[in-house]
Amino acid sequence: MSQRLKDRVAVVTGAARGIGRAIAERFASEGARVACLDVSAGRIEQAVAEMQAAGHNVRGYVVDVSNRAAVRAVFERIEVDFGAPIAALVNNAAWIRYQAPQDIDEETLDRMLGVGLKALVWTLQAALPQLERSGHGAVVNICSTAAVRATADSMAYCAVKGGVAALTRAAAVDFGRRGIRVNAIAPAFVPTAAALANFNGAAVTRRTESTPLGRLAQPEEIAAVATFLVSDDSTFINGELIIADGGRANAAL
Ligand SMILES: NC(=O)c1ccc[n+]([C@@H]2O[C@H](COP(=O)([O-])OP(=O)(O)OC[C@H]3O[C@@H](n4cnc5c(N)ncnc54)[C@H](O)[C@@H]3O)[C@@H](O)[C@H]2O)c1
């Protein structure tokens, strides 16, 4: 494995499982020191123990990323713990429910927006001074093809991810002036435990068959794009939404 992120401090939110965990592992394999944030204490403790056992330089932090004060405090602690400013931030955490428009309730919508969109404002605010001081500052927001394509019962999810795409463009303007790049990745269906809880059986088969590559993405393939976007291999890419969907959005299959 190359060492494109050697000694850099990286933060990955929602790192206990799924795509976030794959990103944390890939960053660590590339030489980064990774702060793994998650709201689930049990899951992050176990995931971090497994990653450490595999030789990765990772630490776990329990935090609800939708809580501004908690985010600020944990980002300050990360700099102290690692002894260096954060150079890479991946906003991956999400809490997702698919509901028919008439069934969307206030509590569900608030939580989806809180974790999936509001949290990005808090982490960007908290990380800004550190990203700037690091000299390599780069942010990746995990968006979704839901930002550009809709499916049934996805009104709230599309609103969250459409917001992430727009926020990414806006942040790229403001942060770009400080030498920090902000980009997003839009995966289509990735068969993580969370995704399989929302879709299974025929819905998964349909998604597989309508993908030109004839298969679904693995979390590691999204992690590879995230690695490129925080590395010095993408130093002039800023404000982009990279679609990583095996060609599905462009196909009429
Ligand atoms: N899996 C897919 O099909 C797919 C497709 C497109 C985009 N995405 C996006 O990829 C990201 C990861 O998806 P996944 O399938 O790996 O999800 P996941 O549910 O497996 O992982 C999300 C993690 O975020 C954590 N989390 C939830 N609320 C939190 C909070 N308030 N604070 C901190 N952490 C919190 C969870 O505990 C969990 O570990 C999400 O942003 C999702 O929208 C996923």
- Average of pLDDT values for 98-126? 98
Expressed in angstroms and rounded, the spacing between residue 220 Cα and the centre of ligand 1 is 14
pLDDT band at 253 (very low <50, low <70, confident <90, very high): confident
Helix ranges (DSSP H) in 83-149: 106-113, 119-134
pLDDT at 214: 97
Burial 4-13 (b: 16+ CB within 10 A, else e): bbeebbbbbb
Residue nearest to atom 25 of ligand 1 (CA): 14
Expressed in angstroms and rounded, the spacing between residue 47 Cα and the centre of ligand 1 is 15
Q: How far apart are the first and last CA of the chain?
A: 36
Query: What digits encode the pLDDT tens for the residues 163-214?
Result: 999 999 999 999 999 999 999 999 999 999 999 998 989 999 999 999 999 9
Position 178, amino acid: R
Expressed in angstroms and rounded, the spacing between residue 93 Cα and the centre of ligand 1 is 4
Q: Which two tokens stand for residue 212?
A: 């030109």
Q: Which of 157, 160, 226, 229 is catalytic?
A: 157
Domains, in order of start, for the chain? 9-190+218-243 (3.40.50.720)
Q: What is each CA distance from 102 to 96, 99, 111, 156, in whole angstroms?
A: 17, 8, 17, 11
Task: For residue 248, give every residue at least 6 positions away whose Cβ sits within 8 Å of its Cβ, in sequence order, or none.
Answer: 145, 188, 207, 210, 211, 212
Mutate to test the pocket of ligand 1, among 26, 36, 51, 95 (most ligand atoms within 8 A of CB): 95
Tokens 């592992």 appear where?
25
Give 211's DSSP letter: S
Expressed in angstroms and rounded, the spacing between residue 204 Cα and the centre of ligand 1 is 18
Give percent of the chain above pLDDT 90.
97
Which ligand 1 atom sits nearest the alpha carbon of residue 111? 31
Query: What digits encode the pLDDT tens for the residues 67-93?
Result: 999 999 999 999 999 999 999 999 999
157 belongs to the catalytic site: yes
